[in-house]
């Protein structure tokens, strides 16, 4: 499976994204929302995996306003420093606008329905995508800082699934409980908790990768998208 780089017209300018299509060429769309490492091999591989499952997957470069084309790993201290620097400069709300533009770009390339899935920073953005865009379904893995944006939940009009890591080093227990309590009464929201997992348990090759749990979460994600995007 090999993808291509395409241009996405946004509200504030154009930016690029990695697009992967299924062998049939058509399918529902999924916006893959990056971690703090840019559109790197992990994100491209996720797009390719989703394309293999029958989806048209597009991962937009959300750091384009700061530095276009970020493609780093989680392997060195220097890359982590760069990633956190980018994270600190990143405007979440502009990122959500870029995701809305990505959804609009993806709809005509797909069968019409478009979902979103994000990880880490992208997990928060997937939550905000559910709150502020017309995505048909959204999934967030170990999203950071969602507890600070619970007022946005009133905008959720389509299904949202969140995967929460119980021992997430970036989301303390009180933040996790605030998210669960804040979304408990929202009928659109499904939350799965993984008590023994740390942040990024679903990132292949990552320090906290756990294949069995990642497979469980990914299976839930695929069934969720099949139900709501099919």
Per-residue pLDDT tens over the stretch 51-100:
999 999 999 999 999 999 999 999 999 999 999 999 999 999 999 999 99
Active-site entry in 48, 98, 198, 199 = 199
Give the Å distances, CA to CA, from 27 to 19, 52, 109, 133, 157. 13, 11, 8, 20, 23
Residue with tokens 């959804």: 103
pLDDT confidence bin for 187, thresholds 50/70/90: very high
End-to-end CA distance of the chain: 22
Look-up of token digits 């559109």: 39
Per the annotation, the verdict on 188 as an active-site residue is no
pLDDT band at residue 216, thresholds of 50, 70 and 90?
very high
pLDDT at residue 2 tops 80:
no
Provide the angle, in degrees to the nearest 10, between the axes of the packed helices 121-132 and 92-106: 70
> The tokens of 142 are what?
């170990």
Instruction: Tell me how crowded residue 71 is: count the other CB atoms within 10 A of its CB.
Output: 13
3-state secondary structure the chain: CCCEEEEEECCCCEEEEEEECCCCCCCCEEEEECCCCECCHHHHHHHHHHHHCCCEEEEECCCCCCCCCCECCCCCHHHHHHHHHHHHHCCHHHHHHHHHHHHHHHHHHCCCCEEEEEECHHHHHHHHHHHHCCCCEEEEECCCCHHHHHHHHHHCCCCEEEEEECCCCCCCHHHHHHHHHHHCCCCCEEEEEECCCCCCCCCCCCCCCCHHHHHHHHHHHHHHHHHHHC
Count of domains in the chain?
Answer: 1
Residue 48 has a pLDDT of 98
If you average pLDDT over every residue of the chain, what do you get?
A: 97
Q: In what order do the strands lie in the sheet containing 189-194?
A: 4-9, 14-20, 56-60, 29-33, 114-119, 137-141, 160-165, 189-194
The 10s digit of each residue's pLDDT in 104-163 is 999 999 999 999 999 999 999 999 999 999 999 999 999 999 999 999 999 999 999 999
Q: How confident is the model at residue 41 (pLDDT cuts 50, 70, 90)?
A: very high
Instruction: Please give the residue range of the domain that contains residue 181.
Output: 4-229
Q: What angle do CA 109, 113, 115 make, to 5 degrees?
A: 100
pLDDT (average), residues 14-38: 97
Options 168, 198, 210, 228, the catalytic residue:
168
Q: What percentage of the chain exceeds 70 in pLDDT?
A: 99
Active site (annotated) includes residue 168 = yes
Does the structure show a pLDDT above 80 at 1? no
Here the CATH number for the domain that contains residue 30 is 3.40.50.1820
């Amino acid at each position: 499976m090999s993808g291509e780089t395409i241009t996405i017209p946004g509200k504030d300018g154009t930016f690029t994204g990695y697009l992967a299509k299924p062998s049939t060429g058509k399918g529902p769309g999924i916006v893959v929302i990056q971690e703090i490492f840019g559109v790197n091999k992990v994100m491209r591989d996720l797009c390719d995996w989703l394309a293999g499952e029958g989806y048209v997957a597009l991962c937009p470069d959300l750091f384009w306003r700061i530095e276009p084309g970020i493609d780093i790993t989680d392997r060195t201290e220097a890359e982590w420093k760069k990633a956190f620097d980018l994270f600190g400069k990143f405007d979440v709300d502009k990122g959500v606008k870029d995701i809305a533009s990505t959804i609009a770009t993806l709809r005509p390339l797909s069968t019409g329905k478009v979902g979103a899935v994000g990880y880490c920073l992208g997990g928060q953005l997937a939550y905000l995508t559910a709150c502020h865009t017309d995505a048909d379904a959204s999934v967030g893995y170990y999203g950071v800082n969602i507890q600070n944006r619970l007022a946005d939940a009133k905008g959720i009009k389509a299904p949202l699934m969140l995967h929460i890591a119980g021992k997430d080093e970036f989301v303390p227990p009180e933040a996790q409980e605030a998210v669960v309590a804040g979304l408990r009464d929202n009928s659109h929201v499904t939350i799965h908790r993984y008590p023994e997992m740390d942040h990024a348990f679903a990132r292949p090759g990552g320090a906290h990768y756990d294949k069995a749990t990642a497979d469980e979460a990914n299976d839930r994600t695929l069934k969720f998208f099949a139900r709501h995007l099919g």
